Structure 1
Amino acid sequence: MNRAGSRGWLGALPLLAFFALVFGVPAVALVAGAFTADGRPSLSNMSQSLQGGYLTAMISSVQLSGVVALVGAVLGTFLAYAIVTSRFALLREAVLTASGVLANFGGVPLAFFWIATLGNSGVISGLMGLPSGSLYTFWGLVVVYLYFAVPLMVLAMAPALDGLRPQWREAAANNGATTWHYWRFVALPVLAPAMLGGVVLLFGSAFSAYATANAMVGSVVPLVTLKIAAALTGDVLIGYENIALALSLDMIVVAGLVMAIYLPLQKRSSRWLH
């Protein structure tokens, strides 16, 4: 290794040490705890994490994340196309700025916003006599998650839609292609990696959410993040900390699969942004 390369590694050592301390040590502790029972190596925690109520919670989390990802991707893509093709630059900047804020708006404040609006004693539900019980169900949680999923999809799709060149549409029209042919054979193949990447990103975001669901539905809707919190805090069962670590490892595996899909798609779609 040449001297410049050696200096580069030396400069990166503090960052590598920081990542090893902040991420490496907890990861090792999590894996060790997940495969330990009664002080001995065991697969019982991992086995229990995929049975009974824990498996139900995992399936429910995957279903919730899948619905949020698909619906959010469709709505976000149409909204992104509308603002990208808008003639009003101020409107575009306003929507993109708002999307950047709303995409990171979650947790207890988001739950309070919806409960105060459409909850049992919400402003709108109280004034208009709307039913409020559905807010605390699976589909109510989907609607709430879409509040940050749609803006996140807008941020993911806007650069990809900007990458569509007007010359491509003109060339397609000059060769006799209809609007459908243009979108089917030119635009959609270009946008597909970004769209699929956005779906994966929305899935991971909804899959890992905890505070909003905990504040809204509690144990009404079984979710793996809520099961982990209950096992760690001992609110329901005592001595199930290692099962919580096993559930966390299950989530890491799912998140790893999500990122394994997302990163290649994001890399491929970035070619069209230049």
Structure 2
Amino acid sequence: MTATAVRVDSAPAAAVKRRRRSLGWLAVVPLLAFTALAFGLPALAMLDGAFTAKDPATGATSYTTGNLTASLQGAYLTALLGSVKLSAVSAALGVLLGLPLAQAVVTSRFRALREAVLTASGVLANFGGVPLAFAFVATLGNAGVLTRHLGLADQGWDLYSFWGLVIVYLYFLIPLMVLTITPALEGLRTQWREAAQNNGATPVQYWRHVALPVLLPSLLGGLVLLFGSAFAAYATAAAMVGSSIPLVTLQIADAISGNVLVGQENVALALSLDMVLVAGLVMAVYLPLQRRSARWLA
């Protein structure tokens, strides 16, 4: 009798749960439709164009892998490797400089200072493009204020170089790292530090054996996020260095506009596909790290 009653009572509850799930999926349908239109259609168009070749004489189109082959040769390959190098160096420096800054913010006793730094980081992380390039050119360019005042040109300083571009990228990558790693630092429990101190551990030993192993997934996730942000940046580099530094985003713009060779639009789409594949590899690394970090810091 009791078992039968339980089965009868649980049936309406199961029906209600299924109904709620179906209503939840209906609520997500507009977002899924928007995602399919905003991202799916351009992705399909890019994929189709990357494998399409047009005969200049007849105008006939055919599918080929020639565009992808061309995108991985010569100047295009150099630009792709240049973007990877620039993004990797900028991301690594952003992590190394952003971590101690975020730790100082988290441990600060002044709540107003903490909120001010986090607010400024949110603004600066999204400050890029031509305004950022102009600000650095006016400040540290060949005729910039600080360049002339400090005599940096006589010391070999050159903003329009690889390391100059790295410094410019750090302007928005460090604040992004602060925003990314601050929740993980706040998740470090004070009991862990107290337990380490009670067992005679120094602050260096605590960070080496306790804090950094716990933060490692978050640090690697931040590194991946910063890499992706730097890898996709275009306007800042285009306004600052033009084509003097080989970057894949600049090569795509040149191929689309015909500045290099006429009719290279499909090669530009192949380069875009290369960037998507690199970004996909980056996200494949980032998502497992994020889940692992969430388990430790929950």
Give, in whole Å, the separation in 2 of the partners of 1:264 and 1:33.
Answer: 32
Query: Contact (CA 8 Å) 2:142, 2:158: kept in 1 or not?
Result: no
Point out the more displaced range, 14-23 or 170-179: 170-179
Contact 2:50 2:269 in 1 (8 A): yes
Report how far residue 267 of structure 1 moved: 2.1
**Residue number among 205, 214, 225 corresponding to 2:229 in the alignment:** 205
Alignment of 1:47-66 (within 5 A): 47-66=69-88
Task: Give the CA deviation at 1:272.
Answer: 4.3
Name the structure 2 match of 1:102: 124
Unaligned stretches of 5+ in structure 1? none
Runs of 4+ in 1 over 4 A off after TM superposition: none
Percent identity over the alignment is 67
Larger Rg: 2
Aligned amino acid, residue 22 of structure 2: S
Partner of 1:31: 47
Selected match of 2:166 from 142, 147, 151: 142
User: What displacement does 1:163 show?
Assistant: 1.1
Number of positions where the alignment pairs a residue of Structure 1 with one of Structure 2: 274
TM-score normalized with structure 2 length: 0.88
Paired residues of 1:68 and 1:203 also in contact (CA < 8 A): yes
Structure 2 unaligned runs (5+)? 1-14, 55-60
Number of the residue aligned with 1:6: 22
Q: 2:273 corresponds to which residue?
A: 249
Alignment of 1:150-169 (within 5 A): 150-169=174-193
Instruction: Identify which range, 9-18 or 41-50, moves more after superposition.
Output: 9-18
Give the superposed CA RMSD.
Answer: 1.5
Instruction: Give CA deviations for 1:168-206 in whole Å, capped at 9, x if unaligned.
Output: 111112223333332222111111111111110110000
Q: Could you say what secondary structure the match of 2:239 adopts?
A: helix
Output the amino acid matched with 1:123. V
Alpha-carbon shift at residue 10 of structure 1 (Å) = 2.6
Residue 101 (structure 2) pairs with residue 85 (structure 1): no
Query: Any conservation in 1 of the 2:51–2:68 contact (CA below 8 Å)?
Result: yes
**Structure 1 contact 208–225 (Cα < 8 Å) conserved:** yes
Question: Partners of 1:8 and 1:89 in 2: how far apart?
Answer: 39
Whether 1:20 and 2:36 are equivalent positions in the alignment is yes
Q: Distance in 2 between matches of 1:151 and 1:273?
A: 22
Q: Which amino acid aligns with 2:229?
A: S
Match of 2:244 in 1: 220
Moved more, 85-94 or 1-10: 1-10
Q: Deviations over 1:204-240 (max 9, x none)?
A: 0000000000000000000000000111111232100
* TM-score, length of structure 1 as denominator length: 0.95
Which deviates the most, 260-269 or 190-199? 260-269
